[in-house]
Amino acid sequence: MAGKTVLKLSGVERHYGQGETTLSILKGADFELHSGEIVALVAPSGTGKSTLLHLAGLLEHPDAGEVFVGGHACNGLPDDDRTAIRRSEIGFVYQFHHLLPEFTALENIMMPQLIAGLPEREAKERASQLLDYMRIGHRGEHRPAELSGGEQQRVAIARAVANAPRVLLADEPTGNLDPETASYVFDALEALVKQSGLAALIATHNHDLAARMDRRVTIDGGKVVGF
C-alpha cells in the first residue's frame, strides 16, 4: 500500500539550448514518490535520468511545471529556501561515494548533522546507529581508503540519511560494485527505507536490482512512464 506522497513532479519540462536548436529532455513529465517505497528509474543514457534527479533534488529549476517536496511547491522559492529544503528533506547518493578522505566513516556521517546544528554527542550517537544499521558498525573508525567499495557506499548512504530526509535520490549507487556487493548494499538500503518510511528513487542500469524494487519507471518521449 502506497504511503504519503513526499515528492511530486507535475507537468515538468526541461529544455537545453544547443546553438540555434533546443533540446527537449522532459516534456510535461509527471511523477509521484511515496513514503516507504523504492522506485527504480531505468532508462538509457541521454534520456534524462540525471536531469530528472536534479530537478527532483532542487538542483535545477524546471522550465515549466512544478516540483513538490512534502506537499510544498518549490519552483518559485528563493535559492536559500531551496537549499534549506535540500539540506533537511533530501538525501543524495552518487555512483562514486564522495566521502571526505581525511575523516573516519563515523565522522563523515556526523558531518551533515553538525552542519545542521545537532550537538556533537547526538550526531555521534545517530552516526553510530546508522553504521550498525548498515552492518558496518565495526568500521566506524576507519577512513574511506581503508574500506571496501561496498562499505564506502554504505557509509555514503548512511551520510545521505543522517538528517532524516523524506526523500533519497540515488544515481547509479551500485554502479561501481560487483553483483554480490551491489545486492548486499541494496539489502541494507531496502531495510532502511522500510523501517524509516523514507522514499527512494534509484537510477540504475542493474535490471536485477530494479526488479526487486517496488516500482520501475523509465523516461519515454520526455514523459515518466511505468513498465
- What secondary structure does DSSP assign to 160-194, as a single string? HTTT--SEEEEESTTTTS-HHHHHHHHHHHHHHHH
**In this structure, which amino acid lies at residue 224?**
V
Mean pLDDT across the chain? 90
* Structural domain contains residue 117: no
Whole-prediction pTM: 0.89
pLDDT-above-90 percentage for the chain: 62
Residue 112 lies in a domain: no
In this predicted structure, the answer to whether residue 1 has a pLDDT above a threshold of 60 is no
Q: What is the pLDDT of residue 46?
A: 79
In a domain, 143, yes or no: no
Show the cell assigned to 60.
535545477
* 152 part of a folded domain: no
The pLDDT tens digits for 159-177 are 998 988 999 999 888 887 8
The CATH code of the domain that includes 169 is 3.40.50.300
Report the number of distinct structural domains present in the chain.
1
Q: Is 132 within a domain?
A: no
Does some domain include residue 26?
yes
Domain for residue 127, yes or no? no
Domain containing 16 equals 3-97+163-224
Distance CA 163, CA 92 (A): 12
Q: How far apart are CA 111 and CA 123, in angstroms?
A: 8
Residue 138 lies in a domain: no
